[in-house]
Structure 1
Amino acid sequence: MFGIHSVHRRLAELTEKAERLGGYNKLSTNEQKEINHCLLVNAKITREIDALLQLSFIAYQANDTEWQMEICERLDALRPKFT
């Protein structure tokens, strides 16, 4: 299953609305603040996933299966957020 985080879905909605209206500056102040919030959450999620993927690769190279499984569990725990 391919999941989409609610933040990404909301960014898509606001982007489509901005396109219909003629630009992001046409969105309400609250919607512009919401885009900024979504972008910050997106950056946090991306950093977290990237860090875990890098650690997983290091664990793989170190042949530390137990550590790699722990990292994979942390990655799996993020999955429910993507529906």
Structure 2
Amino acid sequence: MIGIHPVHRRLAELALRAKLLGDFKLLSPVEKQELSHCLSVNLELVRKLDSLKSLAFIAYDCGDVSWHQDICAEIEALESKLL
């Protein structure tokens, strides 16, 4: 089973609503605020994962096994919250 983070599910719901309405501009002010919030949360999730994955590559490339394992554990913990 593939899990979907609640933020991503809400983004999909808002996108569907906007599609049915004909444009994102037609969402209610509350829905637009929610969309902005979901996009911000998504941005932070992506930035954090990308940063950790870059660090993991550097740790691997340096041969620092302990550091690499620590970073991979952080990645796994963050990804488990996405399910």
> Does the alignment reach a TM-score above 0.5?
yes
Q: Deviations over 1:12-58 (max 9, x none)?
A: 11000110011111111000000000111111111100000000000
Runs of 4+ in 1 over 4 A off after TM superposition: none
Q: Which residue is 1:43 aligned to?
A: 43
TM-score (norm 2): 0.93
Q: CA deviation at 1:8?
A: 1.0
Aligned sequence identity (%): 47
- Find out whether 1:21 has 2:21 as its counterpart: yes
Alignment root-mean-square deviation, CA: 1.1
Structure 2, unaligned stretches of length 5 or more? none
Larger RCO: 1 or 2 (CA < 8 Å, sep 6+): 1
TM-score (norm 1): 0.93
Structure 1, unaligned stretches of length 5 or more? none
